[in-house]
Amino acid sequence: MRGFEYAWRVRPMPGEKVAGDVCCITGCEVRLQVTLVDVLGHGREAAELAGQVLDWLKARPLTEPACLLREMHRQFRGSRGMVAASALLDEEGLTCGAVGNIFVRIAGRHARQHVSRDGVIGYIVAEPRQARHPFTEGDLLIMHSDGLSSHFGDEALAGMDERSCEEVVDLLMRQYAKETDDASCAVVRRQACI
Ligand SMILES: [Mn+2]
């Protein structure tokens, strides 16, 4: 049986109790959708909007990322705005879309970075840039907000094969989360065939 192993963390900016970053993971053994959202600003007001976004995401069926981000823009138009990335994983690979300053990368055999489209969802949005990437057993999908430094190279991810997704996400949060913003990170791996 195949499936996905995943883990995610959200940590409010130090001094705040709540965060404006949210992560929503939905799906099943063969299709998984991972969406990471960073509402502009931080603190209680950002967290309130982030909570609304999370409720909206949870209630949605699996959706092509570009379509999801366009619908998110329509739904939250006039709000303070947010940046977001979404990846839809299936048995052959993953489809990804991202708007604004948010990071999606694949580590492993199919290492690459997904290029986000400039914009702010709910405020100014360009057509989300959607791309299909290969993603197979042993690859690691990493999505994170700009509350983590994006400057870690592939060498920082070497040896992650030995670690669980829980361990990888903890390690990345510990090493790269900034003190000046909410921080969030999600990690997904395809489980081996049993
Ligand atoms: Mn941020």
Distance of CA 50 to the CA centre of its chain: 14
Residue 99 binned pLDDT confidence (cut-offs 50, 70, 90): very high
Start-end of H helices in the chain? 44-58, 65-75, 165-176
Side chain identity, residue 138? G
- How far, in Å, from the CA of 162 to the mean position of ligand 1? 30
- Whether the CB-CB separation of 184 and 38 falls below 8 Å is answered with yes
Residue 2 binned pLDDT confidence (cut-offs 50, 70, 90): low
pLDDT digits (tens, 9 = 90+) for 136-191: 998 999 999 999 998 887 778 878 888 999 999 999 999 999 999 999 999 999 88
- How far, in Å, from the CA of 89 to the mean position of ligand 1? 24
- How far, in Å, from the CA of 181 to the mean position of ligand 1? 6
- How far, in Å, from the CA of 145 to the mean position of ligand 1? 6
- How far, in Å, from the CA of 180 to the mean position of ligand 1? 9
Taking 70 as the threshold, does the pLDDT of residue 135 lie above it?
yes
According to the model, what pLDDT value does residue 128 have? 83
With a pLDDT cut of 90, the percent of the chain lying above it is: 78
- How far, in Å, from the CA of 128 to the mean position of ligand 1? 19
Query: Which residue ranges form the domains of the chain, and what is each CATH number?
Result: 4-190 (3.60.40.10)
pLDDT digits (tens, 9 = 90+) for 27-41: 988 899 999 999 999
Residue 47 binned pLDDT confidence (cut-offs 50, 70, 90): very high
Give the DSSP per-residue string, 86-112: EEEE-SSEEEEEEESSEEEEEESTT-E
- How far, in Å, from the CA of 37 to the mean position of ligand 1? 9
Residue 24 binned pLDDT confidence (cut-offs 50, 70, 90): very high
- How far, in Å, from the CA of 184 to the mean position of ligand 1? 9
